[in-house]
Chain A
């Protein structure tokens, strides 16, 4: 408090002091911070507590970022239910280690055991979440994965050719006609040996549109739009009136290839690329697409054979943006924008220049008018640049510092994250006025409202996904988990309810009401429907077959034994395939199989399923195997032995259970 020096007469000073005292006293009277704090905390606890035996309201799927996986949490409790392996090997589940899922991680660069998973998006019908599949992108080795929401497992992974850094992905159109991919790192297309200095003009970007089969969900790379070498950062589809368009933010329109930190932050405006994909479809039909050679993998997992197969593709259809008018337009947007979000009615396209302090809203209606009236401001590589003011609807001024992402509550409000000022700001669509701001801890990236990127948001909860944790939880050494904050946004002001840690680095999340998925969650695989090539449907049918130096063990598991559990006649240098079928047909009775010294991992087999683990013994001896997943009261007794004889020893092949030989073959 400033001290007023006694240059002035005492009476005004006394009056001022008295006034000050009254004002301060008044402030204290009405509020007892500790009392309100207590009430709020208790209230928040009640609203996030899911009592034992009760269920959460929402399934929330968080991307794992550099973990490569997808995690499943419940809201409002913030409890973790599952970590679904997508782009990284997972020894716990044998994903990427067993023979059936190794093909999922196959790419044109060979087997890639790790990925960077960023943006999950749930399939939609008529602009509303339908809970059939979840799509998620891989940023490092460009791919898109589709996760089946009845088994909560990765069902398909398709590689994206002519791409590097697949960031503006994997977002779906309002009827899941397409899921998109977009390049963050422009590269020479096709790849060639040229100097990096030649980036400007020579390096190109690709925006890929993959169709989604409405019955099976299978993806197919329908076409790629060849774009200038900007960085394509994020995207969201048009909906309602703007259905048929897709909007991608770009940054680095400076086309820098080094020290982007400085060199890509020079221009005061970059672009939103507005893609008219219906127009692209027309060009495709008219034969304007060019077929280019490109080798990429398409891996599909089948729940019938419990096996993934790699299909190799060798060409892609390309539409050249600079040559095909009416397909792509650039809308200027302030400085290095990040998020590109579309309001539930499809009218406003929100872009946040992450190096600015305001949030910009463009109008779709105005955009169409500007195109019609040819209100262009020059062009970039043959693509018209629309006049900024002709498309601008408004901007949220002084919202905060470093706006990133916006989602909507379906009540006419929008919520934007501000990374640098570490807050979430609520504002009114149309009037652009700030309604509320709440701090987050710390430095929020994306936020997520269930259905917040659709025509029908469920405006009760908001989750802020933060990048910096620091002192938020019990510290765990130098490396800390990422934090998430759950807000109640059903009222006028946002209320912080819960602060919970997350696995990996959630870049984005997608959530659905629990009812949409609960009933159709698969309980067991029907054994009679199992079409795995090495399935064994009853204990009596188990056997061991030698084929040169390959030995195939057809094994079964049921509480609490393996059949067979004693195997003799294996030799050093053999490649032993354990094809293990779980004969259980009871809910939540998995069995595992682990072999001593195996150079891969365990396999975890669900009821009715078959999985294969390969073992190549290099030492003579008798080696044990066992079930690592606690399955029954006699789980400790669920084990077996394999006798490995020297190479060429010709020990007879014998496989028994309880001393009884099983059918010799």
Chain B
């Protein structure tokens, strides 16, 4: 079996890992929370990192006028479909065996990835900026504008008494790996075809 085909199959199969492992985790640390709060984003749902975390994050956030974390999101209904479609497509393309299709798959994955991150950013922007006008506590920035509480897209950020960490989890890393591997498959396949 051609090396490139094996790599491509693996790449495609990795797209199914988010059905078993969480994709992303946002952790909220604060002095009064020796065990930090957190939420895990799975392919089709958002869940507590530890029991009751979502409820407690919402409770904390109601003081500054933030709305509750979403229970259902259209993104969480679309993502599983996209992953399955791309995963199946990837396997079929691997069966087909042409490296240029591997490259195409990679480009589509990269595009979808960027689209996904942009959508995530937009959701975070809305979550952090759409505040209840009757919020109990209202903070302002140094320049007088109302403070917003947008979590970081990727990385660590301090907001008031919370330090927020936003990082991919195993499922997310494996999908990234899958995309990367498809590029590798494309290169290896191109070399094999032009031997």
Give bound CA distance, A524 to B51, whole Å.
Answer: 11
Counting CB contacts under 8 A, is A210 at the interface? Answer: no
- Chain A proximity mask over B34-66: 1 for CB below 8 Å, otherwise 0: 010000000000000001100110010001000
A558 near B: Cβ within 8 Å? yes
- Of the candidates A524, A558, A587, which one forms a contact with B59 in the assembled complex, judged by CB atoms under 8 Å apart? A558
User: Complex formed: what's the CA distance from A633 to B137 in Å?
Assistant: 10
**B137 — nearest CB in chain A belongs to which residue?**
A633
Total interface residues on A, using CB and 8 Å? Answer: 9
- Which residues of chain A (555-613) have a CB below 8 Å from chain B? 558-559, 584-587
Q: Is A585 within 8 A of B63, CB to CB?
A: no
How far apart are the CA atoms of A647 and B52 in the complex, in Å? 45
Question: Do B63 and A633 have beta carbons less than 8 Å apart?
Answer: yes
Interface contact A586-B63, CB-CB below 8 Å: no
Nearest-Cβ distance from residue A657 to partner chain B, whole angstroms: 14
Minimum C-beta distance from B96 to chain A (A): 51
Residues 136-148 of B, flagged 1 when their CB comes within 8 A of A and 0 if not, give 1100000000000
Q: Is the beta-carbon distance between A585 and B136 smaller than 8 angstroms?
A: no
Write out, one digit per residue, whether chain B residues 156-179 have a CB within 8 A of any chain A CB (1) or not (0).
Answer: 000000000000000000000000
Residue in A558, A584, A585, A634 whose CB lies within 8 Å of B51: A585
Is A586's CB under 8 angstroms from B136's CB? Answer: no
Is A559 a contact partner of B59 (Cβ separation < 8 A)?
A: yes
Q: Are A634 and B59 in contact (CB under 8 A)?
A: no
A634–B136 contact, CB under 8 A? yes
A587 to B63, CA, bound (A): 19
Residues facing B in A321-374 (CB within 8 A) are none
Q: How far is the CB of B92 from chain A (nearest CB, A)?
A: 45
Q: Which residues of A contact B55 (CB under 8 A)?
A: 585-586
From A558, A559, A586, B52 is in contact (CB under 8 Å) with: A586
Interface string of A530-569 (1 = CB under 8 A from B): 0000000000000000000000000000110000000000
A526's nearest neighbour on chain B, judged by CB, is B51
Q: How far is the CB of A540 from chain B (nearest CB, A)?
A: 15
Q: Is there contact, CB below 8 Å, between A634 and B56?
A: no
- B58 nearest CB across to chain A (Å): 11
List A contacts of B63 (CB < 8 A): 633-634
Residues of A628-647 contacting chain B, CB below 8 A: 633-634
Docked pose: A558 CA to B136 CA in angstroms: 15
Provide the A267-302 mask, 1 if CB < 8 A to any CB of B, else 0: 000000000000000000000000000000000000
Chain A proximity mask over B110-143: 1 for CB below 8 Å, otherwise 0: 0000000000000000000000000011000000
Query: Taking the nearest CB of chain A, how far is it from the CB of B159, in angstroms?
Result: 16
Measured CA separation A585–B55 after assembly (Å): 8
- Of all chain B residues, the one with the shortest Cβ separation from A585 is B52
The smallest beta-carbon distance between B160 and chain A, in angstroms, is: 12
Residues of chain B with a CB closer than 8 A to A634's CB: 63, 136
| Chain B residues, CB < 8 A from A586 | 52, 55-56, 59
Q: CB-defined interface of B60-94 with A at 8 Å, one 1/0 digit per residue?
A: 00010000000000000000000000000000000
Residues on A with beta carbons closer than 8 Å to the beta carbon of B59: 558-559, 584, 586
Interfacial chain B residues near A559, Cβ < 8 Å? 59
A584–B52 CA distance with the chains assembled, in angstroms:
9
B residues in contact with A587, CB < 8 Å: 35
A608 shortest CB reach to chain B, Å: 10
Chain A, range 80-123, C-beta contacts under 8 Å to B: none
Closest A residue, CB atoms, query B56: A586
What are the residues of chain B within 8 A of A633 when measuring CB–CB? 63, 137
CA distance A238 to B35 in the complex (A): 45
- Nearest B residue to A633 via CB reads B63
CB neighbours of A584 from chain B (8 A): 59
A340 → chain B, closest Cβ, in Å?
45
Assembled-state Cα–Cα distance A558/B63 (Å):
12
Bound CA span A558–B137, Å: 17
Cα separation A586 to B56 with both chains bound (whole Å): 7
Interfacial chain A residues near B56, Cβ < 8 Å: 585-586
Specify which chain A residues have a CB less than 8 angstroms from the CB of B51 in the assembled complex.
Answer: 585
B63 to chain A, nearest CB (A): 7
- How many Å from the CB of A333 to the closest CB on chain B? 53
| Chain B residues with CB below 8 A from A585, complex form | 51-52, 55-56
B34 to chain A, nearest CB (A): 9
A545→B37 CA distance, assembly (Å): 38
Q: Report the separation of the CA atoms of residues A589 and B112 in the bound assembly, to the nearest whole angstrom.
A: 43
- Bound Cα distance from A558 to B59, whole angstroms: 9
* Cross-chain pairs A/B with CB under 8 angstroms, 17 sampled: A524-B52, A558-B59, A559-B59, A584-B59, A585-B51, A585-B52, A585-B55, A585-B56, A586-B52, A586-B55, A586-B56, A586-B59, A587-B35, A633-B63, A633-B137, A634-B63, A634-B136
Question: What are the 9 closest A-B residue pairs judged by CB atoms, nearest first?
Answer: A585-B52, A586-B56, A585-B55, A559-B59, A634-B136, A586-B52, A633-B63, A585-B56, A558-B59
In the complex, given contacts A558-B59, A586-B55, A586-B56, what are 7 additional A-B residue pairs having Cβ atoms less than 8 angstroms apart?
A: A524-B52, A585-B51, A586-B59, A587-B35, A633-B63, A634-B63, A634-B136
